[in-house]
Amino acid sequence: MKKKWLSGCLALLLMLATFGGTGVVFAEQTETPAATADGLWTAEVEIVSPDLEHEGLPFVATVEFEEGANAFDLLLAAVGEENVQYTVHPEFGPFIEGIMGLEGTASDWWMFNVNGEASMVGAGSYLVEDGDTLQWEYFVDDSAEWEVFAFADQDKVSPWAQEATQWLGYFNIMSGKPSGDSFLFDPKGTTTRAEFTKLLVSILYEDPSGAEAAGFTDVAAGAWYADYVNKAKLENLIGGYADNTFKPSATISRQDAAVILARAFELSPSAEAPSFGDVTAAYAKDAIAAIAEAGIMEGYNGAFRPQDSITREELAVVTLRLFEVFGE
């Protein structure tokens, strides 16, 4: 499959893969060792800001804990919950906005490292092992031009989606909705099947035009999404309904998005892939397991909510993850 990665993707990947002049090696969760005789483990918590002086930093503390604690719990135990500014998203977990009064921005943020390597999972999902060194490192990016981009309603975007919406908007991967002389992102709005298809095809292919008409009775030849739908159907990324319609204006569900993404990126689940008790549609089970295992979409406290629609800001985060995982 021929994939087209927009020019901005390379810059983002270099930014994410380089820190302090050294390449980032991703830390994976390893098998948990046996507990010590007294049942308590210890881990070191470090809070550092190498590129920016800030009162109280660097901070180092040793924390005792019981098996099963996650890294976010240990951060709160080390510095006190009153010194951590965060929000909790039902799908993506805790999002750290600031530590000890140093708050992140669209271009500067807190990176979570385990034993000197960037973690593949968030602090709320990483189960700490005895002897781990957990580090929150404030990363200052002076090179990102996209940080100055903002939709007219950027202040309505959740903190955990600020970076994704600005980056995707700057490179015109996700566009806004006209409102007078400006554009609104509408972060809490839903995504239609036509919008989702256009976004995916725009990422994967240089030129969607020229594909044979898909034959859907509700996709007019001159519609703004027609070429994208035709290309997606040609590549077997999408299917229609029994009545030969595509329903372009219908909102896309989480399970249908997962199915399309799994097809597009040729993902299949391993034996260790997560499963969700609320996923009952046979056609979506493997796709949802695969897309969750790849870290592209996650669940809500053990549930996937397959019938829920994806908000535009959630889709922005998912899209940025696609670039991070498959952008090479």
| Domains by residue range for the chain, with CATH | 7-29+39-140 (2.170.130.30), 190-326 (no CATH)
pLDDT in tens, 264-285: 999 999 999 999 999 999 999 9
User: According to the model, what pLDDT value does residue 91 have?
Assistant: 66
CB 75 within 8 A of CB 45: yes
- Strands, sheet with 93-99, edge to edge from the N-terminal-most edge strand: 84-89, 93-99, 102-103
Q: Which of 125, 180, 158, 134 is closest to 292 using CA atoms?
A: 125
Q: Between the CA of residue 129 and those of 166, 186, 277, what are the distances in Å?
A: 36, 41, 28
Residue 19 confidence (pLDDT): 29
Please report which confidence band the pLDDT of residue 18 belongs to, taking 50, 70 and 90 as the band edges.
Answer: very low
Helix or strand run (H / E) with residue 227: helix 226-234
More confident residue, 96 or 228: 228
What pLDDT is attached to residue 113?
A: 92
Q: Residue 24: which pLDDT band, with cuts at 50, 70 and 90? A: very low
pLDDT at 199 over 80: yes
Q: Look up residue 96 and give its amino acid.
A: I
Decide if pLDDT at 81 tops 50.
yes
Residue 142 has a pLDDT of 57
Model pTM above 0.75: no
Query: Across residues 103-113, what is the average pLDDT?
Result: 78
User: Tell me: the pLDDT tens digits for 131-163?
Assistant: 999 999 998 765 556 666 889 999 999 998 998
- Write down the pLDDT at residue 106: 56
CA distance to 17, 90, 152, 175, 196, per residue, from 191 (Å)? 30, 19, 19, 12, 6
Residue-level pLDDT at 247: 97
pLDDT tens profile 287-305: 999 999 999 998 888 899 9
Going by C-alpha positions, the residue among 252, 247, 248, 203 that lies closest to residue 225 is 248
The continuous run of DSSP H or E covering 66 comes out as strand 59-66
Identity at 239, one-letter amino acid code: G
Q: How confident is the model at residue 187 (pLDDT cuts 50, 70, 90)?
A: very high
User: pLDDT-derived band of residue 95, with 50, 70 and 90 as boundaries?
Assistant: confident
Q: What percent of the chain has pLDDT over 70?
A: 84
Instruction: Give mean pLDDT, residues 104-112.
Output: 76
Judged against a pLDDT cut of 60, whether residue 57 lies above it is answered with yes
pLDDT class for 103, splitting at 50, 70, 90?
confident
The tokens describing 159, both together, are: 């903190």
Give the best-scoring range by mean pLDDT among 44-48, 209-213, 238-242.
Answer: 44-48
pLDDT surpassing 80 at residue 327? no
Mean pLDDT across the chain, nearest whole number?
84
Q: What is the pLDDT of residues 225-247, one digit of tens each?
A: 999 999 999 999 998 999 999 99
What does the pLDDT read at residue 288?
96
The encoded tokens of residue 226 equal: 């027609």
